[in-house]
Amino acid sequence: MKKLKKLQEYREEIEQCVKCGACRAHCPVFGAEKHEGRVARGKVALAGALLDGEIDLEKKLLEDMSQCLLCGSCYAQCPNKVPTEEIVAAVRREIAAKKGLSTFGKGLTSVLKNPSLMNTLAKTGGVLSSLLFKKLPADSGLRLRFPAPFISGDRTLPPIAAKPFREQHPEVIEGQPGRPTVAFFTGCGINYMYPAIGEALLRALKFIGVTVIIPAEQGCCGLPAVSAGSGDVVEALAARNLKALTARPVDFVVTACASCNAGLGKIYADLEGEYADLAERTKDIFVFLVEQGLPERLAVLPASAEKVRVTYHDPCHLRTRGITREPRAILKALPQVEYVEMEAAGSCCGLGGTYSVYHYETSKKIGAKKAGHISASGADTVATDCPGCIMQLQDSLNHAGEDVRVCHILDLLMDVLPEEAPA
């Protein structure tokens, strides 16, 4: 396995920044804070100064580097394709190597690298749910009853699954002969908080006759460890997932989480060799379903008398990698959906992994803008393709007092697909 790149290996990319400022208009943190240190060119300049020994790991550098969602919006708009999110992640690894991980980073990574500990914590949280959380009106989530470290008391959280998704299913679910076989990489969000999304994915794959493998030994994709600055944990999780996902022959690996898709499809590609092969075979579920002709097959479902007005939020980890058409194609093919495009559908929701833990106030400001766009679209439902975005959108809409359903596109598919696959 090739190791994740060190900061010095980004010198060429850092020098490609011509300080044109084209990234300013697209950085959600700059949009909320209007502070030069928050925008890509400021961070790239600081990374260059650190590399040249002009500055040390001083407080300003630590603060500016933590003020990044790693969303990639700047990269997508940069004329010179400076990969700021990768450079910031490399600086965070440099900081962690020299100063150690933050308290939250240490706790997070020790749970991430130990799936059985994560399972135990999730099950304990599920059992103690009514003690720890109070329900919000209209089933729009939970809030903590008591103050807890790193979680704001006014943050909306999803319920924890009574039983993790992967424990509810066998490892192999046979499809129809001659159809592809896929491994389902569930990610932590679906496994522990949103198992219904996983159920809907199985229903969709059954509808088109695909055989599904759900490897029990898979772990977190590693993206939260990228955000926390722990390269070692990212590499250990990649090794675990490579073993789990290639134990049986599969045609593709599918994900229903934008962050997991970026973890497997982008971060693993940088590890080269077998990891790059795995990255190549990883597909977002809607890319796979469109390639398998699902929109055409949905056209034969009975028309719905009642329509729901649905808009789509583009998760940054898909949008910045060019996956925007397929989720919309599935939504528009659903018989119960009247699709409306919201303004700035591609703007970040403000979650950014560990970002919203450290900078919840800014995260809320970014989320408030998104809630405004959703509300202005007139949609009854906002659908997306990422459990993390679902959690943040629900939080933002609750703060805005907007009664809009937040769901995964797969939840809408589940509403119309028959339980039994067609012969």
Q: How far is CA 309 from CA 96, 286, 405, in A?
A: 46, 20, 10
Query: Cβ distance 284 to 261 under 8 Å?
Result: yes
Q: Considering the complex, state which of residue 45 and residue 121 has its C-beta at the smaller distance from ligand SF4.
A: 45
Q: Considering the complex, state which of residue 72 and residue 141 has its C-beta at the smaller distance from ligand SF4.
A: 72
Q: How far is CA 180 from CA 253, 297, 394, in A?
A: 11, 17, 35
Q: State the minimum distance, in angstroms, from the CB of residue 285 to ligand SF4.
A: 25
Q: Considering the complex, state which of residue 37 and residue 372 has its C-beta at the smaller distance from ligand SF4.
A: 37
Q: State the minimum distance, in angstroms, from the CB of residue 323 to ligand SF4.
A: 17
Alpha helices per DSSP H over 221-336: 223-228, 231-245, 258-262, 268-270, 274-281, 285-291, 294-298, 316-319, 325-333
Binding site for ligand SF4 (CB under 6 A): 17-23, 26-29, 40-41, 43-44, 68-74, 78, 80, 82, 84-85
R_g over Cα of the chain: 21
Q: Which residue has the tokens 């990044």?
A: 68
Q: State the minimum distance, in angstroms, from the CB of residue 274 to ligand SF4.
A: 28
Q: Considering the complex, state which of residue 12 and residue 306 has its C-beta at the smaller distance from ligand SF4.
A: 12
Residue 186 CB neighbours (<10 A): 27
Q: How far apart are CA 358 and CA 104, in angstroms?
A: 9
Q: State the minimum distance, in angstroms, from the CB of residue 20 to ligand SF4.
A: 4
Q: How far apart are CA 159 and CA 143, in angstroms?
A: 10
Q: How far apart are CA 114 and CA 233, in angstroms?
A: 10
Q: Kindly report the backbone phi and psi dihedral angles of residue 178, in degrees, each rounded to the nearest multiple of 5, phi listed first.
A: 85, -5
Q: Considering the complex, state which of residue 204 and residue 351 has its C-beta at the smaller distance from ligand SF4.
A: 351
CA 268 to chain centre: 15
Compute the Cα dihedral for 371, 334, 191, 135 and give only its sign: positive
Q: State the minimum distance, in angstroms, from the CB of residue 78 to ligand SF4.
A: 3
Q: State the minimum distance, in angstroms, from the CB of residue 270 to ligand SF4.
A: 16
Query: Could you tell me which residues come within 8 angstroms of residue 94 by beta carbon, excluding any fewer than 6 positions away?
Result: 6, 7, 50, 57
Q: State the minimum distance, in angstroms, from the CB of residue 345 to ligand SF4.
A: 16
Q: State the minimum distance, in angstroms, from the CB of residue 42 to ligand SF4.
A: 8
